[in-house]
Amino acid sequence: MSAYSSEDVRDVEALAQGIHRITKGNWTVMEVCGGQTHAILKNGIDQLLPPAIRIVHGPGCPVCVTSMEVLDRAMEIASRDDVVLCTYGDMLRVPGTKTDLARIRSQGGKIRVIHSPLDACKVASEELRLGTGRQVVLFAIGFETTAPATAMAVRAAHMKSLPNFSVLVSHVLVPPALQAILSDPDHGIDGILAAGHVCAITGYEAYEGIADQYRTPIAVTGFSPVDILRGMLAVVTELESSKGDTSRHTRVINAYSQVVERCGNVAARRALDEVFECCDQVWRGMGTLPQSGFKLRSKYQALDATERFASETSSIACPALPTIQSHCRAAEVLKGKIRPTQCEAFGKECTPAYPLGAPMVSNEGACAAYYHHQSRNDPDVLGGSSR
| Residue 215 is assigned to a structural domain of this protein | yes
Report pLDDT for 370.
Answer: 93
Output the pTM of the full model.
Answer: 0.89
Considering the domain architecture, whether residues 69 and 167 belong to the same structural domain is answered as: yes
Tell me: pLDDT of 314 over 50. Answer: no
| Residue 261 is assigned to a structural domain of this protein | no
Considering the domain architecture, whether residues 68 and 141 belong to the same structural domain is answered as: yes
| Residue 209 is assigned to a structural domain of this protein | yes
Can you give the CATH number for the domain in which 128 is found?
Answer: 3.40.50.11740
Considering the domain architecture, whether residues 302 and 364 belong to the same structural domain is answered as: no
Can you give the CATH number for the domain in which 226 is found?
Answer: 3.40.50.11750
Tell me: pLDDT of 37 over 60. Answer: yes
Tell me: pLDDT of 14 over 60. Answer: yes
Mean pLDDT of 218-245: 94
Each residue of 279-289: pLDDT tens digit? 999 998 899 99
Mean pLDDT of 178-191: 95
Structural domains of the chain, count: 3
Tell me: pLDDT of 323 over 80. Answer: no
Considering the domain architecture, whether residues 16 and 160 belong to the same structural domain is answered as: no
Considering the domain architecture, whether residues 184 and 245 belong to the same structural domain is answered as: yes
Considering the domain architecture, whether residues 71 and 164 belong to the same structural domain is answered as: yes
Tell me: pLDDT of 268 over 70. Answer: yes
Considering the domain architecture, whether residues 309 and 338 belong to the same structural domain is answered as: no
Considering the domain architecture, whether residues 90 and 153 belong to the same structural domain is answered as: yes
3-state secondary structure the chain: CCCCCHHHHHHHHHHHHHHHHHCCCCEEEEECCHHHHHHHHHCCHHHHCCCCEEEEECCCCHHHHECHHHHHHHHHHHCCCCEEEEECHHHCCCCCCCCCHHHHHHCCCEEEECCCHHHHHHHHHHHHHHCCCCEEEEEEEECCCCHHHHHHHHHHHHHHCCCCEEEEEEEECHHHHHHHHHCCCCCCCCEEEEEHHHHHHHCCHHHHHHHHHCCCCEEEECCCHHHHHHHHHHHHHHHHHHCCCCCCCCCEEECCCCCCCCCCCHHHHHHHHHHEEEEEEEECCCEEEEEEEEEECHHHHHHEHHHHCCCCHHHCCCCCCCCCCCCCCHHHHHCCCCCHHHCCCECCCECCCCCCCHHHHCCCCHHHHHHHHCCCCCHHHHCCCCC
Confidence band of 322 (pLDDT split at 50, 70, 90): very low
Considering the domain architecture, whether residues 246 and 334 belong to the same structural domain is answered as: no
Confidence band of 7 (pLDDT split at 50, 70, 90): confident
Query: Which residue range(s) make up the domain with 91?
Result: 64-173+268-315
Q: For all residues of the chain together, what is the average pLDDT? A: 90
| Residue 386 is assigned to a structural domain of this protein | no
Report pLDDT for 98.
Answer: 85
Confidence band of 311 (pLDDT split at 50, 70, 90): low
Considering the domain architecture, whether residues 276 and 148 belong to the same structural domain is answered as: yes
Report pLDDT for 244.
Answer: 66
| Residue 361 is assigned to a structural domain of this protein | yes
| Residue 31 is assigned to a structural domain of this protein | yes
Considering the domain architecture, whether residues 276 and 166 belong to the same structural domain is answered as: yes
| Residue 135 is assigned to a structural domain of this protein | yes
Report pLDDT for 333.
Answer: 92
Domain end marker among 208, 231, 254: 254
| Residue 385 is assigned to a structural domain of this protein | no
Tell me: pLDDT of 194 over 90. Answer: yes
